[in-house]
A = this chain, B = another copy of it.
Amino acid sequence: MYRPEIKVLDCTIRDGGLMNNWQFEDDFVRAIFKANCAAGVDYMEIGYKSSESAFSRDENGPWKFCHDTDIVRVLGEDCAEQGIKLAAMADIGRIEYDDIPPKNESVITLIRVACYVHQIDKAIAMVEHCIDKGYETTINLMAVSRAMERDLDEALDDVANSRVPVFYLVDSFGAMYCEQVQRLAEKYIAALPGKTIGYHGHNNQQLAFANTIEAIIRNCNWVDGSMYGIGRGAGNCPLELLMSFLKNPKFDPRPIYETVQKELLPLRQTIDWGYHVPYLITGMLNEHPRSAMKYMAENKDGDIAAFYNYLADGAILD
């Protein structure tokens, strides 16, 4: 679909890092960057901005913090001049205003603020702080599939009356199918006139790419992918699929194909992200994947029916 307004964001390092505490080899991060540049990807989200006081450098690689010194060391002094914009995510509750440098001291262009519905006020304030420091911004409202409608309506009202320019529909649990994406996309667009809507899916039910297409059909103009779908648990919309679908002349999927073959397939031998039945079950039941990740880590050959029964009958009461 050729719609020049569509922007593609690669979150390979940021979301993939949730599987290895951002302990990527520098060469890997460089290869992802080069492929994104060559493919015409609009934004590359390289990690999280986090407070050093909140997380240990021993446990977490540099992309948990996204200091400019690390970015420039790995991607080069001229990384902000390659035609792609660098992005970082900031989780409400895990970062202070002072952790964000002024834009003119950073190679990062976009800061995406992630929050739950009860944190929307803090997220709006953080976004406006980042705008005042010179950044492009978004809010990514997580876990909307479990938000109560009244709370969501109030959050959308607050965003409508703010300077937030881009607002993301996020299927954190991989729980949605096309009709739910359609409804929420239409709701967001109606509630947020003049603002851009984005879509970020998860692949628990092998629907991340299909739902991203649905979001595009429903006029979401920012869409996320990660190479070979790397991300927490079942992962994200595979970027190679998304880039193959979009027909904008500036996009070229071939560098993504090559990087999947050369970099992601070998990494997949050591990190087991992607479609698995436990992730299907949490997605279908609209649950956080943490119980599936625990099941996967502890006992791959365990009693999957008992896992389903536990979640279907018990955990949804908690």
Contacts and interface: CB of A to CB of B under 8 A. Distances in A.
Interface of A: 177-179, 203, 205-211, 213-214, 217, 238, 240-241, 244-245, 253-255, 257-258, 260-262, 265, 275, 277, 280-281, 284, 300-301, 304-305, 308-309
Contact of A244 (B245, B262, B280): B280
B257 A304 contact: yes
B308 A254 contact: yes
A262 B213 CA distance: 34
A254 B206 contact: no
Contacts of A214: 178
A281 B257 CA distance: 9
Number of copies: 2
Contacts of A275: 238
Given A207-B209, A210-B210, A177 B261 contact: no
A277 B179 CA distance: 28
Nearest to A260: B277
Given A177-B210, A209-B206, A254-B308, A261 B244 contact: no
A123 B49 CA distance: 62
A309 B275 CA distance: 29
Given A205-B245, A207-B209, 7 more contacts: A178-B213, A210-B210, A240-B280, A257-B308, A258-B305, A260-B304, A261-B304
B178 A178 contact: yes
A258 B209 contact: no
A115 to B, nearest CB: 28
Contacts of A277: 240, 257, 260-261
Contacts of A257: 277, 281, 304-305, 308
A288 to B, nearest CB: 17
Nearest to A209: B206
Given A214-B178, A281-B257, A205 B241 contact: yes
Contact of A284 (B203, B211, B244, B255): B244
Contacts of A281: 244, 257
A305 B244 CA distance: 13
B258 A304 contact: yes
Nearest to A252: B305
A163 B253 CA distance: 46
A10 to B, nearest CB: 16
A205 B208 CA distance: 11
Contacts of A262: 301
A122 to B, nearest CB: 35
A76 to B, nearest CB: 24
Contacts of A304: 254, 257-258, 260-261
Contacts of A300: 261, 265
Contacts of A260: 277, 304
Contact of A210 (B206, B240, B244, B309): B206
